[in-house]
């Protein structure tokens, strides 16, 4: 049978590092980029007799995440030990949560702008649909293993970092929805200041559970879990492969067995790691070193910290700045870009033009210099000033881009109007400019006749002639507009 004859059921376990100064159960620094094995202590190394101390801020961030996603928080939450023997967990157990997690239920919205560019999903509003969550629990991250063929290196800096596990219900149905789920969730986490959620840095990772069953069958198929998913695109590729693999084997009469597979993105295939792994395999039991957490006071505290969520921000951008939906979607999809825009828009007379610069003109310049918007040396106020210079007719967009790259980029000059003046750009006298246009029309009757006959390409030649005769140089757009008006076009 073709894949379309099977019902696909997908669930995700997303692990997200919380942005905190210290680790979950000790005072060691948490963060990315430190020298290996320098931020460690007896507690996070699991030394005998070392006692854990709860990171209250991490608990509050988890509760806030739950609020943003519509979860409920029970009055009491407790800690459990998840026992296993791995090289990346020196205690041979992980302090986690099993039956009384911090957040229960909730849902993740799938934002229309979060789907892959080539997705065929169509949406009328900001949210395509919502995906149900089972729960969110808090635990400590394991250390980082780096494999080199015949040996591996371990960095215990990451071990003990506060780690949320956001567990969805089996409520996703396609690789594209899975991509959108991860992208939407990432945006919400960044929006709330919970995490940078950078998958390249391991701050957000996911395990994917997928099963197939023939249409009409109510019982779910055998659950296959795929690990080692380190990007949204990899999750999508892994699911496309795994769905096809399972469908092919089911067509051959090969029953699927609950198992865990490792996704190899370089090979583009999944590889069996182990079979039939369940929660009881970890021998959970209540952690004797940590008391249960009474959450009421924390819930009241974080209620005051609820941020504006991406869908609400998208709606406000359109209403406040008059942006079309496509522009609002592009901006809200990048929290840093959106913040830059709002600062610049507040300084400009033309917010929509500012949005156009940030979406279409500035990104290629940043990409060529291998910079992010956060690293842009041109301040939002300066960019706003440059946009206003163009809108006032002092220079053209191309001329403004030259000013941006050659005069403003160094950071020494941050006054766009002054930079334009130094280049000799001034707002042309309308009477003098009209006289020049009339002169060029009179001197080029053949070209004028061809333009009136439908050869609009020659309008550029006439514009160029006016520009050549002008001092200071006017805005070419304005020249073309006057030409068109004089020719009755």
216-238, pLDDT tens digit by residue? Answer: 899 999 999 998 798 999 999 99
Q: Bridge-partner residues for 205, per DSSP? A: 15
Kindly give, in sequence order, each residue whose CB lies less than 8 Å from that of residue 209, ignoring residues fewer than 6 positions away: 10, 11, 12, 13, 170, 223, 224, 225, 226
**HEC sequence for 91-106:** CCEEEECCCCCCEECC
Instruction: Tell me the residue ranges of DSSP E strands in 56-159.
Output: 76-77, 80-83, 93-96, 103-104, 107-111, 127-140, 144-148, 151-155
Report pLDDT for 450.
Answer: 76
d(CA 27, CA 40): 9
User: What predicted TM-score, i.e. pTM, was given to this entire model?
Assistant: 0.86
Report pLDDT for 1.
Answer: 65
d(CA 483, CA 467): 12
> From the CB of residue 115, how many other CB atoms can be counted at a distance below 10 Å?
21
d(CA 241, CA 243): 6
Kindly give, in sequence order, each residue whose CB lies less than 8 Å from that of residue 37, ignoring residues fewer than 6 positions away: 155, 156, 157
Tokens 């690990």 correspond to what residue? 227
Q: Which of 29, 26, 33 is nearest to 54 (CA)?
A: 26
Q: Which of 13, 1, 6, 8 is nearest to 260 (CA)?
A: 13
Kindly give, in sequence order, each residue whose CB lies less than 8 Å from that of residue 1, ignoring residues fewer than 6 positions away: 214, 247, 250, 251
Q: Are 78 and 292 in contact (CB under 8 A)?
A: yes
Count Cβ atoms within 10 A of the Cβ of residue 230 and give its class: 0-12 exposed, 13-18 middle, 19 or more buried. middle
> From the CB of residue 335, how many other CB atoms can be counted at a distance below 10 Å?
19
Mean pLDDT, consecutive 10-residue stretches, the chain (489 aa), reads 85 96 96 94 93 97 98 97 85 93 98 92 88 98 91 94 97 97 97 93 93 92 90 96 94 91 90 74 89 96 96 96 95 94 95 96 94 94 94 85 91 83 73 72 77 74 74 69 73
């Amino acid at each position: 049978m073709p894949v379309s004859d099977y019902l696909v059921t997908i669930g995700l376990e997303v692990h997200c590092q919380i942005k905190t100064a210290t680790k979950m159960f000790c005072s060691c620094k948490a963060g990315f980029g430190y020298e290996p094995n320098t931020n460690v202590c007896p507690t996070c190394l699991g030394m005998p007799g070392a006692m854990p101390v709860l990171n209250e801020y991490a608990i509050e961030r988890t509760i806030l995440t739950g609020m943003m996603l519509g979860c409920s928080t029970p009055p009491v939450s407790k800690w459990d030990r998840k026992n296993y023997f791995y090289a990346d967990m020196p205690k041979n157990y992980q302090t986690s949560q099993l039956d009384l997690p911090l957040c229960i239920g909730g849902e993740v919205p799938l934002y229309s702008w979060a789907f892959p560019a080539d997705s065929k999903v169509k949406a009328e509003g900001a949210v395509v649909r919502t995906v149900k969550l089972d729960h969110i629990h808090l635990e400590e991250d394991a250390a980082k293993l780096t494999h080199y063929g015949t040996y591996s290196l371990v960095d215990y800096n990451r071990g003990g970092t506060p780690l949320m596990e956001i567990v969805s219900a089996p409520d996703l149905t396609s690789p594209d929805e899975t991509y959108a789920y991860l992208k939407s969730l990432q945006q919400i986490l960044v929006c709330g200041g919970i995490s940078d959620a950078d998958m390249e840095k391991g701050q957000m990772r996911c395990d994917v559970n997928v099963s197939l069953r023939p249409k009409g069958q109510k019982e779910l198929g055998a659950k296959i879990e795929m690990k080692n998913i380190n990007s949204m695109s990899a999750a999508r590729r892994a699911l496309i492969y795994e769905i096809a693999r399972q469908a092919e084997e089911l067509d051959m009469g090969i029953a699927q067995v609950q198992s865990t597979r490792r996704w190899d993105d370089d090979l583009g295939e999944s590889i069996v790691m182990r079979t039939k792994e369940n929660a009881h395999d970890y021998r959970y039991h209540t952690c004797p070193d940590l008391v249960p957490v009474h959450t009421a006071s924390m819930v009241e505290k974080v209620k005051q910290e609820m941020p504006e969520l991406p869908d609400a921000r998208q709606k406000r951008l359109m209403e406040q700045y008059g942006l079309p939906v496509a522009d609002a979607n592009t901006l809200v999809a990048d929290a840093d870009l959106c913040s830059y825009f709002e600062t610049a828009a507040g300084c400009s007379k033309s917010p929509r033009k500012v949005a156009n610069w940030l979406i279409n003109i500035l990104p290629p310049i940043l990409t060529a210099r291998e910079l992010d918007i956060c690293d842009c040396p041109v301040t939002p106020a300066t960019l706003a000033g440059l946009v206003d210079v163009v809108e006032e007719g002092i220079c053209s967009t191309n001329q403004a881009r030259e000013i941006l790259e050659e005069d403003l980029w160094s950071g020494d000059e941050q006054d766009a109007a002054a930079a334009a003046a130094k280049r000799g750009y001034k707002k042309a006298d309308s009477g003098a400019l009209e006289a020049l246009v009339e002169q060029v029309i009179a001197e080029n009757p053949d070209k004028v006749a061809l333009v009136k006959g439908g050869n609009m390409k020659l309008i550029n030649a006439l514009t160029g002639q006016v520009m050549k005769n002008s001092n200071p140089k006017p805005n070419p757009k304005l020249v073309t507009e006057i030409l068109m008006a004089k020719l009755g076009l």
